[in-house]
Amino acid sequence: MVERMIEVTGLNIRFGQGSKANHVVRGVDLSIARGECFGLVGESGCGKSTILGAIAGRVKEWQGGIRIGGEAVAPERRKLSQLRQQQIVFQDPYGSLHPRHTVGRILSEPLEIHGIDNRDTRIDQVLDQVGLPRRFRFRYPHQLSGGQRQRVAIARALVLDPQILLLDEPTSALDVSIQAEILNLLKDLREERGLTYLLVSHDMAVVTHLCDRIAVMQKGRFVEVTSRDAMIRGELEHPYTRLLRDGSLGYRPVKAAE
Amino acid sequence: MSDAQPLLSVRNLTVAFPSLQHMLPAVRNVSFDLGREKVGIIGESGSGKSTTGRAIMRLHPAKTRITADLMAFQGRDLLTLSEREMRSIRGHRIAMILQDPKYSLNPVMTVGEQIAETAILHERLSRREARLRAMEMLEKVHIRDPERVMGLYPHEVSGGMGQRIMISMMLIAKPALIIADEPTSALDVSVRQQVLTILDELVSGNDMGLLFISHDLNLVRSFCDRVLIMYAGRVVEELRADELDKAQHPYTQGLLEALPSLTEPRDRLAVLRRDPAWAEG
Amino acid sequence: MTMIHKNEGLRAWLLSEDFTSPRQARAHKAYVSWLRFSSNPLAFGGLLVVLLLVLAAVFAPWVATHDPLAQDFALALKPPSAEHWFGTDELGRDVYSRLVYGARTTLYIAILVTVIVGPIGFVIGAAAGYLGGWVDTVLMRVTDIFLAFPSLVLALAFSAALGAGIENAVIAIALTIWPPVARLVRAETLTFRKADFVVAAELQGASTPRILFRYIVPLCAPSVIVRLTLNMASIILTAAGLGFLGLGAQPPMPEWGAMAAQGRQYLLDAWWLTAVPGLAILLVSLAFNLLGDGLRDILDPKHV
């Protein structure tokens, strides 16, 4: 059994060429244990989604080392078996499902690609697990609410039985009440299946609710890596972390400075 | 707090879209007063909060059915005004800030030109005086490099700066009422605090009224004086912001319990059970 | 009584959104699309005219009153009458019957061109849009070369090179119609390529052909179908142009464009020779346009 589920060493990611290159991720190290929920927090442009993209295989140009489940992965190509280990849940429930595919089709696609049998059974199972009625298989995405679509997106991520879920702002586009349902679902799934999560978000409260450890990013670097308890108690070292934490508590007037 | 006569008085405002006849009106029997204070409207998507804000400015297409027993701004009935009269009010007496400044600013004029234009329009200054005024305004919203920013086009400025530019234009126009619809939702945390601080100073310093429409409960409760909670087109509760914890309506309570909290962690978040009775009576 | 109940039950089953089987889902979609389409009077009208055209073409021997090729100089250039509903042409042939048989030619050309152009445009456009890089560059430069020429000139050149005859005309016209379709597909592919659901499929290990045919093509289909129906008018007119110059449909085969072109010499004395086929071309082109608009309304994913 592999203990370090995700290991990233010296990750550097640049977009563009030469002098105009945007150095989005600057020498990041991180290590996530099996069954852990690790949160990446930061403001827009800090590089958190890019790191998730590199681990997922969506970002194909990076330097450094990434090991998933103990096996090193290459930037350009991944084996089919490697792709199965981690699946993404995207931010926008309205854009992550093909508008012309029924729910059943959306869920059976990954199974077909990997040549897995018992498709109907697995689809029913995964729909049960995300709390959707089985007859939703025949529905199209436009017939579902935002929360229901996100559940389908989670079901799609689970249908290949991955060990890791990469969550890219999974509740940012949802209403507060729906967000609560999805967060509860994610928590339950992790406990039931022993999954490992990497959660990217700009919302400190969401990250603290779900994650064991939290890394704060600014301009491509980790500014601080702290624990859930420390975040709750406010025992933080870096002023930027404190700024983000205070910010999520509500409005606090700042002194005049740009 | 409120004056003798509130700035804005709304009684039983109903907004219905004729193309969606089989659905309930988007806003139903909404009533509230707004004085020289900050009032927040909280709601989830579909609650009717944005529709309410736009109805006050009469920004809906002509076919929309807007009815109210009363919708008075500074004593004038907004519903009976002609379009021409409304135009003189919009941007001048009542100003609106939207979520994305890119949609509110003219993309083919530089920032400096737009602010100067506002100054010329409202204060009848000469071109040179207007330009100086524009720089002055940019400094007032704590933009450090006003000379450089004046020459930028809207697509070249960041979100936070765009909102500050919008606010600076309002400093010139000096409206009595500002309607802000999710003004900071698209901004990062650090920028959000700056923009809200400036907005706070603007509103309190000039005795304005602010209607702050948002889905962010924590933000509204810490920024505003009073809060209205909307659900399915109706106002279900009205409270002082600092008394939100003592909310009576089950929807408000449900919303509060559904929020993940940094300071009071819970294992599971309470799931809102929607009662159809909330949408009626 | 039972019939009424049965119909109400069927309608309810078709309209219900709570599907219990893939068959019901498909039936529902088709029925709802049909209801939407038929509530648009212009589109419905367009569909009727097109259907009329198809029926006239298929049942030409029964619909026509005379033999379209039968000449009788004694009856030349006769105005419309009870005997000859649209009059006769310079060789004494019945214009009405030629019109009806001409529908076959028109439909044959229009459908054949569409069937050829659709797949070509899809493959080239989708490959260019999805694969990008040098594939995109090469394919788009080829497209640009075809687009640089006015379509009629290009069609003439191909037609002349291939020789006279209707099949060669079809190929020539198809070669001028595919570039805009390919461009359209490429543009649509570019927008969808970055969509989350495509990325999700890629991260599941979907191969490029799978993504192109199962994800991207279904999304481009509506725009392309609409574009193709709107193109019908130019297909018909280009065929007419070719016919006039002796390429394309060869005499004595009736073809609306050729008929209209030939009638120009007799315009002052026998206006019906040009007016009737010209009107037919106008009506059918308009019908296809309206049909295309109606299709766009129901096929547009935003409206679904």
Mutation for testing the B interface, residue in A209, A214, A229, A243 having most B CBs under 10 Å:
A209
Residue A40: its pLDDT value, please? 96
> What is residue A10's three-state secondary structure?
strand
* For residues C12-18, average pLDDT: 76
Q: Which of B142, B219, B261 lies closest to A251 in CB terms?
A: B219
Residue C252, preceding peptide bond in cis (omega within 30° of 0): yes
Per CB-CB distance under 8 Å, the chain A contacts of B259 are 176, 180, 205
Q: Which residue of B has its CA nearest to A173?
A: B45
Residue B164 CA to residue B162 CA, distance in Å, equals: 5
Q: Do C17 and A56 touch (CB under 8 A)?
A: no
* Of residues B10 and C80, more confidently modeled: B10
Query: Which residues lie below 8 Å from residue A236, measured CB to CB, with a gap of 6+?
Result: A224, A226, A230, A242, A245
Q: How far is CA C262 from the centre of its chain?
A: 25
Taking alpha carbons only, the member of C87, C83, C80, C81 closest to residue C65 is C83
Query: Which two tokens mark A243?
Result: 């700024």
Mutation for testing the B interface, residue in A41, A151, A171, A175 having most B CBs under 10 Å:
A175
**CA quadruple C136, C142, C143, C148: dihedral sign:** positive
Q: Would you call C192 an interface residue with chain A, using a CB distance cutoff of 8 Å?
A: no
* For residues C251-274, average pLDDT: 84
Q: Do C210 and A90 touch (CB under 8 A)?
A: no
| Strongest mean pLDDT among A74-78, A193-197, C246-250 | A193-197
Q: Do A114 and C219 touch (CB under 8 A)?
A: no
* For residues A59-74, average pLDDT: 91
- With cut-offs at 50, 70 and 90, classify the pLDDT of residue B68: very high
For residue B157, give how far its alpha carbon lies from the nearest alpha carbon of chain A (Å). 14
Q: In what order do the strands lie in the sheet with A4-15?
A: A22-33, A4-15, A63-68, A71-72
Residue A5 CA to residue A163 CA, distance in Å, equals: 9
Give the mean pLDDT of chain C: 85
CB C189 within 8 A of CB C220: yes
Q: Do C205 and A80 touch (CB under 8 A)?
A: yes
Q: Do C203 and A156 touch (CB under 8 A)?
A: no
Residue A61: how many other CB atoms lie within 10 Å: 10
Using CA atoms, how far residue B55 sits from A81, B68, B179, in Å, is: 55, 11, 11
E strand or H helix at B223, and its extent?
Answer: helix B217-223
**pLDDT tens-digit series, residues A157-183:** 999 999 999 999 999 999 999 999 999
Question: What is this structure's pTM?
Answer: 0.85
For residue A42, give how far its alpha carbon lies from the nearest alpha carbon of chain B (Å). 9
> What is residue B196's three-state secondary structure?
helix
Q: Would you call A92 an interface residue with chain C, using a CB distance cutoff of 8 Å?
A: yes
Q: Do C201 and A97 touch (CB under 8 A)?
A: no
Residue C4: its pLDDT value, please? 57
pLDDT at residue B103 greater than cutoff 80: no
pLDDT at residue C36 greater than cutoff 70: yes
**pLDDT tens-digit series, residues B254-281:** 999 999 988 888 888 988 888 888 877 5
Q: Percentage of chain B with pLDDT > 70?
A: 97
Query: Which residues lie below 8 Å from residue B250, measured CB to CB, with a gap of 6+?
Result: B275, B278
Taking alpha carbons only, the member of C250, C183, C252 closest to residue C220 is C183
**pLDDT tens-digit series, residues C42-57:** 888 989 998 988 998 8
Query: Which residues lie below 8 Å from residue C283, measured CB to CB, with a gap of 6+?
Result: C49
Residue A173 CA to residue A201 CA, distance in Å, equals: 11
- With cut-offs at 50, 70 and 90, classify the pLDDT of residue A257: very low
Residues in a beta bridge with C245: none
Q: Which of A183, A204, A251 lies closest to B262 in CB terms?
A: A204
Query: Which two tokens mark A134?
Result: 């089985």
Q: Strand A63-68 to strand A213-218: parallel, antiparallel, or no bridges (unpaired)? A: unpaired
- For chain B positions 193-222, those within 8 Å of chain A (CB to CB) are 193-194, 196-197, 200, 215, 217-219, 221-222
Q: Do A245 and B262 touch (CB under 8 A)?
A: yes
Residue C261: its pLDDT value, please? 80
- With cut-offs at 50, 70 and 90, classify the pLDDT of residue C303: very low
pLDDT at residue B1 greater than cutoff 60: no
For residue A6, give how far its alpha carbon lies from the nearest alpha carbon of chain B (Å). 26
At C137, which amino acid appears? T
Q: Do C197 and A97 touch (CB under 8 A)?
A: yes
> What is residue B61's three-state secondary structure?
coil
If 0-12 CB within 10 Å is exposed, 13-18 middle and 19+ buried, where does residue C105 land? buried
If 0-12 CB within 10 Å is exposed, 13-18 middle and 19+ buried, where does residue C61 land? exposed
Per CB-CB distance under 8 Å, the chain C contacts of A143 are 17
Per CB-CB distance under 8 Å, the chain A contacts of B194 are 254, 257-258
Residue B154 CA to residue B152 CA, distance in Å, equals: 7
Query: Which two tokens mark B12?
Result: 């039983």
Q: Do C19 and A90 touch (CB under 8 A)?
A: no
Residue C6: its pLDDT value, please? 62
Per CB-CB distance under 8 Å, the chain A contacts of B202 are none
Q: Percentage of chain A with pLDDT > 90?
A: 78
Q: Strand A22-33 to strand A4-15: parallel, antiparallel, or no bridges (unpaired)? A: antiparallel
- With cut-offs at 50, 70 and 90, classify the pLDDT of residue B102: confident
